[in-house]
Amino acid sequence: MNPLTAGDLSRSIASVIPLVAEPAGDWIGSASDSEISALAHLAPKEPKLAWFSVFSYEVLPYQGIFLDPKAGQGWTEPRRIRGWLRSGSHSALSTGRTDDHVITLLEYACWLLNRCRSQDSEAHLTRLRELLDYHLLRWVPALSVSLTLHDAVEPSQDTSFYSRVGRLLIQRLCAVRQHLGLAVTVPDTGSNGVMQPLHVDLLTPKLSGLWFSRRVLAHLCRELGEVPRGEREAVCKQLLGSPKSRELFQRELERATALYDELGAAHVEIEEACAQWMARTAGMCARLS
């Protein structure tokens, strides 16, 4: 990878980070990145409220949330991420952040790309391949699909902006991956092998195939003529108290399947990852039958 290409790719990732890391601002309309400035017309009317609602309350941008089948119990995935980020001669310690969050991983990707101009460029490229194949590209497709389904409940200027951000993030990461040669083989680690109560597995993306946001669950409740009561787990249990809810859950899972299919067809770099997520949504649909 030549320095100019590495620099361009680093800037393409860096320009997306503020869209996830902080509320949208007036700077979007004047951004030098044309794809970023094109989002200005969708910028939320209440930026702080919209940002907090989506990324701190509704669709959480953590790898552990999507890939840990024991989320909240063992939390093995966040420990694995932190351990990997701290390991090796080109660890993320230089960035000052080693937490389980998409921003941390994106900042590390930029750091590695910028180091591709050094004398040890191949080692940085190898590390970058691992970052994309073992981490970002394994779960960011599910983050993007979950943001799209969250927006689909009742599209608004607030939610549509972040569903577009999710798709732009996929596009930028795949553009980086195109330049890195052969992919690292990442076997599907499967589930934890033990089925939990249905409401627990539905709310575990590693098992169901997507993140059901509070907004989506509340909407399903209203479709049944009920008022949602409590947090996600309580509302999911409330929904499953009605036999009709299974058809609604299946409908959302089928929508997710179609979105994964579209993403995989559009970006060969995540085709395998999308196929794995589709297998999870299909498996949950079968369980709901």
pLDDT confidence of residue 88 = 87
Nearest to 71 by CA among 216, 180, 276, 232: 232
pLDDT confidence of residue 137 = 96
pLDDT confidence of residue 74 = 64
Mean pLDDT for each consecutive 10-residue tract of the chain (289 residues)?
77 95 90 93 91 94 91 77 92 90 96 84 90 95 96 77 95 93 66 76 95 96 95 96 96 98 96 96 95
Q: Please tell me the distance from the alpha carbon of residue 159 to that of residue 20, in angstroms, as a whole number.
A: 13
Torsion region of 182: left, alpha or beta (phi above 0 gives left; psi -120 to 50 gives alpha): beta
pLDDT confidence of residue 140 = 97
Nearest to 103 by CA among 95, 91, 115, 113: 95
Contact 115/121 with Cβ under 8 angstroms? yes
pTM, to two decimals: 0.93
Domains of the chain, earliest start first: 3-178 (1.10.3480.10), 198-288 (no CATH)
Question: Residue 21: how many CB atoms within 10 A of its CB?
Answer: 15
Q: What digits encode the pLDDT tens for the residues 136-165?
A: 999 999 999 999 999 988 777 667 899 999
pLDDT confidence of residue 186 = 64
